[in-house]
Copies of this chain bind each other. A is one copy, B any other.
Amino acid sequence: DMALRHYTLDFSLSTAGKMIPGLLSIFHEQEMTETVHDTNGHGYLATFVGKNGRLVILRVHSHGLVTIDLQCYEDDNIAQLDNLLNALEKKLKVLLNGNITRIKRLPALVRGAKVDRYWPTADGRLIEYDIDRVVYEEDSAYQNIKILHSQQFGNILVLNGDVNLAESDLAYTQAIIGSGKENYAGKEVLILGGGDGGILAEVVKQKPKMITMKVIDGCRTHMRKTCGNILDNLKGDCYQVIEDCVPVLKKYVQEGRMFDYVINDLTAVPISTEPEEDSTWEFLRLILDLSIKVLHPAGKYFTQGNSVNLTEALSQYEEQLGKLSCPVDFSKEVVCVPSYLELWVFYTIWKK
């Protein structure tokens, strides 16, 4: 594993920055080759190349910021590099004495590692997970499926690069089945998606009549804390697993079949595009419309929204709810799902 470790060390200054000649000796001592670049008046920029793949970029920006980048290989002497960064920080503290408003030294970014630990949140923030190994990886016809092991969250299901569910996330399953306020005993329940088996495992405890759809390979074996043994058989006393949900939903509409609960765990609210132009929104509307058609007049429809920070996408979703052929009302709840590292919105929808 020859990943690149990328350190950053930044000094914010209260006045404009100037070149710092006193700093250069540290790099010269490291026997690094210096190149000073012409920046067309955008401050001082020098690069230093070492013999072992080390690279340092020193920038003194003209508006009062000093940035240092240090790249090295994973098999380099990391303790020595920590010392080098300590020496740099110490020397700059002295040289910039009285002029510093902030010193920021971040944990090293590890690039190109065998096990990737960076999975941004839905609202686009940079997040490093405590992932130590890849448990399962598979490209299905629909998506890239990964199961990654986290020290604290257990196995995490990652679909197309989005964190979907971890073994720590009972809070997700509880929220999407109504936060403990529903009684499923003897009820007709339709689960759309829920490929990890978590919803099925929880709802089955209450002995409903039920149908479920779609299973994600790998979850049965690697998400046992979530699904228990429920996915070991694709048909049980009160449930069955079906491949594709759209034709089945259409058949139910034709037959006039009704459900007390529809739980849609297929997709989060799409975030990047306009509802009119995007195939994900089109799919979402199709499922929503069919689901409401098979929902008992006194029934409830549960689904996830998205990150509480994505207010625009959530508003667009709520607008779609106003355009259904059958008028509906809705409520929403904000829930902390441990492995998401952002608060998540869940919807309850019912017929007016």
Contact = CB atoms under 8 A, between A and B. Distances in A.
A65 B59 CA distance: 25
Given A8-B111, A67-B111, A2 B61 contact: yes
A341 B116 CA distance: 18
Interface in A14-66: 33, 35, 37-40, 42-43, 45, 47, 49, 51-53, 55, 57, 59, 61, 63, 65
A152 B102 contact: no
A49 B53 contact: no
Contacts of A336: 168, 171, 336, 338
A95 B204 CA distance: 51
A49 B63 contact: no
A118 interface: yes
Interface string A264-307: 00000000000000000000000000000000000000000001
A248 interface: no
B37 A35 contact: yes
A38 B2 CA distance: 20
Contacts of A341: 127, 341
Contacts of A43: 53
A92 to B, nearest CB: 14
Contact of A104 (B6, B61, B106, B118): B118
Q: Which of A33, A63, A116, A341 has the largest count of B CB atoms less than 10 A from its CB?
A: A341
A174 B57 CA distance: 47
A85 to B, nearest CB: 15
B65 A112 contact: yes
A71 to B, nearest CB: 8
A127 to B, nearest CB: 6
Contact of A106 (B57, B69, B126): B126
Output the residue of A61, A126, A151, A307 with the most chain B CB within 10 A: A126
Nearest to A39: B49
Contacts of A40: 49, 51-52
A153 B109 CA distance: 25
Contact of A128 (B4, B125, B307): B125
A309 B107 contact: no
B109 A126 contact: yes
22 contacts: A2-B63, A2-B65, A4-B59, A10-B111, A35-B37, A40-B51, A42-B53, A43-B53, A45-B49, A67-B112, A102-B112, A104-B116, A106-B126, A107-B124, A125-B129, A126-B127, A127-B341, A151-B308, A152-B308, A152-B309, A152-B343, A168-B343
